[in-house]
Amino acid sequence: MDFVTLPRTNLKVSRICLGCWQMNGNNANINWDAQPYETSKACVDKCLELGINFFDTAEGYAGSEEVLGRCLLGRRQDAIIATKFGFRDGIGTPAYSAVQIDEAITKSLRKLQTDYIDLLQAHFPSFISNTEEAITELKRQVSLGRIRSWGVCNFGPKNLKSLIDMGEIPVSNQIGYNLLWYLFDIRWVTMYCGTSLTSDRLQPTMEIPRAGGDSYMQGQGHSGPGLQPSTAGAAQWQLHDLAGCTRGPEEGKTVCTNKHREEQAWTTRL
């Protein structure tokens, strides 16, 4: 298994991360059929057996934090846990104040049955009421040892640039980037923000859905014309130069006129 150290941290994570949205304690919901605890635990057991130590969950994944915490009892030290704040009241959840971020962390710690979270991320930009206040609170949580690092999810170019302009660079940006959900061209994020996504700055994390559940693959920061992460034993893909992609009418969207987009090569090694 290949590993990467998340920027500005001592967190050494596997390039493959298990997405735990589908872990719901055998309670079906609008997103997933019921998944028995035994199935969830078997997934976690297999990941650890293969050297996968990175697990992604969220406050908004109904039942997921509780199940993951239970699955990792007695072996918390072997795992890197990423969770998120957002969706505490469902889709219509308003933005979080600093106090509500603190409350969300407290609840996640209890559900996960741990006294620290390795990576806490804002699930969407809309869940941050005041950016400066939120960052101050996240840094306070790091100083308290309740979280070890902080990052973001689903942040488009404007969102990231606003952080960079404040002198703040999150450890990660977890984005949807697959055949079913193409959130935006990650190379365009690099150009818009005026910074290279090198390994010592920002770690993009790609969502690669596979049969049987939600799984993730770490994308290596790359300052060249394309992004070429690869893993052993999972999806392997190559994204060729996407010159010709331009900003679309909505935040985080792109319109690609490059005929070479068809050169995207996907393979799966099982």
Euclidean distance between CA atoms 240 and 235, whole angstroms: 16
Asked if 37 and 31 count as a contact pair (C-beta separation under 8 A), the reply is no
184 and 253 Cβ atoms separated by less than 8 Å: yes
Catalytic residues: 61
Helices of type H across the chain: 37-50, 64-71, 98-112, 131-144, 157-165, 186-193
Residue 255 C-beta-side C-alpha neighbours within 13 Å:
5
- Angle at which helix 131-144 crosses helix 157-165, to 10 degrees, equals 70
> What is the C-alpha to C-alpha distance for residues 21 and 203, in angstroms, rounded to an integer?
21
Give whole-number Cα distances, 78 to 4, 18, 55, 138, 214, in Å: 15, 14, 11, 24, 21
Residue 241 CB partners (closer than 8 Å, separation 6+): 225, 226, 258, 260
Paired tokens of 187: 């190379």
How many other CB atoms sit within 10 Å of the CB of residue 242?
20
Torsion angle, alpha carbons of 170, 153, 21, 27, to 10: 110
Structure tokens at 212: 């049987």
